[in-house]
Amino acid sequence: MNLKQKSVRIGMVFLVVLFISGILLMFKGHDATALATEKKEGILTAEQVKLAFDSVSGRMLNEAVKESQEVKKGDVLMVLDSTDVDLSIAKTNAQIAQMDAQIKAMEGSIRIGYAQTDTNEQQNFRQIDQQRAALKAANATYANKELDYNRKTALAASGAISQSELDDAQTSLAVASANAAQQQQMLEKLLAGATDTENTNQLNLPTIEQQRQTLNNKQNDVQNLMQQKKLLEVQLKELLVKKERLTLKAPEDGKVLKLLAKQGEMISPNEPVILLESKRCYYDIYLSEKQAAKLTEGDSITGKTIADSKPIEGTIRFITAAPGFADLKMSREKGQADLSAFQIRIYTDKQAEVIPGMTIEVTQDAFTKR
């Protein structure tokens, strides 16, 4: 066999092998698309949380943790200087105490004012009773003097008494009249415009009513002070919240990946200072349309680690259309459309033997069983 025949034979053998391989790929499904749908793999990823001081700023006073340190929920991570806030809290507490003293003083003054008003009312009632009695006495005296004057007038006409005696009776009558009028004016002054019903305890004296209205108005001043106190209490609560936020605590269990701020640095509000790796882990896989159609959010799905085939239980968090780069590229027939892919995110329970960065595999069986 010459060299040319040998070359032809080798070429024919190569064509036959290539043809047979194509047939096997067509029937056994070992092309790129078939392999992509047979099993899915994803990298187990732990969610990372950027921690910051919530709406507060200040100088970093203490770093309570180090990088790679495991922390529990509620552990203190960092602390900012609280000197200014402490002074504001002390000042607000003093203002609240001062406001309490003013409220108590005004309330005490109002209580005393009501008591004095009641006392004044009773005293006025007794004075009115006394003045009524004095007015009655004055009227009685005037009536007596009027009788005496009338009698002496008749006697003087008959010459029984002298003119001087008649003049004295007239003078006494005038004095009695003036005294009665004076007593009436004094009674009206005590009544201060109130209608005299002869029942003293039912009198509504305007002066006493005005005193009570003044005291009622002072109650509004008390309410104003109480509202000012409430405002100060709200300010105090805000300061206490601000002070609490000066201490950064771990929101969940995790591991400190990186400290983004150091002791002594000035920290701005909401500026990330710690990168925390949480215990919440997930991995993403990409499925074809047919595979994704069999799944729903919330379904349980089982994968396994590539390292030791350890089963990993997980829950599908969401299913969404994957970016174009993840679509399955067709390789069997030229010109056939690509297959759309869907991104499946699966959250897993934390396991000691499984650490972030491991590869999790989900086989075709996990989809065909549904």
Architecture of the structural domain at 86-240: Orthogonal Bundle (1.10)
Contacts of residue 48, Cβ cutoff 8 Å, sequence gap at least 6: 257, 275, 276, 277, 278
Q: Where are the domains of the chain?
A: 29-79+253-368, 86-240
Residue owning tokens 């070429």: 11
Write b or e for each residue in 317-354: b if 16 or more Cβ atoms lie within 10 A of its Cβ, otherwise e. Answer: eebeebeeebbbeeeeeeeeeeeebbbbbbebeeeeeb
**pLDDT tens track of the chain, all 370 residues?**
555 566 666 666 666 666 666 555 454 444 444 444 556 889 999 999 999 999 999 999 999 999 999 999 999 999 999 999 999 999 999 999 999 999 999 999 999 999 999 998 888 888 888 988 998 999 999 999 999 889 888 888 887 888 888 888 889 989 999 999 998 899 888 887 777 777 777 778 888 888 889 999 999 999 999 999 999 999 999 999 999 999 999 999 999 999 999 999 999 999 999 999 999 999 999 888 888 888 899 999 989 999 888 899 999 999 998 876 555 554 444 444 456 788 999 999 877 788 889 999 988 777 665 5
Q: Classify the C-alpha dihedral 290-296-301-306 as positive or negative.
A: positive
Asked if 229 and 94 touch (Cβ cutoff 8 Å), the reply is: no
Q: How far is CA 163 from CA 150, 167, 215, in A?
A: 13, 6, 62
DSSP 352: T
Which pLDDT belongs to residue 22?
A: 58
Hey, which residues does 45 pair with through a beta bridge? 282
Measure the CA–CA gap between 168 and 175, rounded to whole angstroms.
11
Single pTM value for the model: 0.65
Measure the CA–CA gap between 231 and 221, rounded to whole angstroms.
15
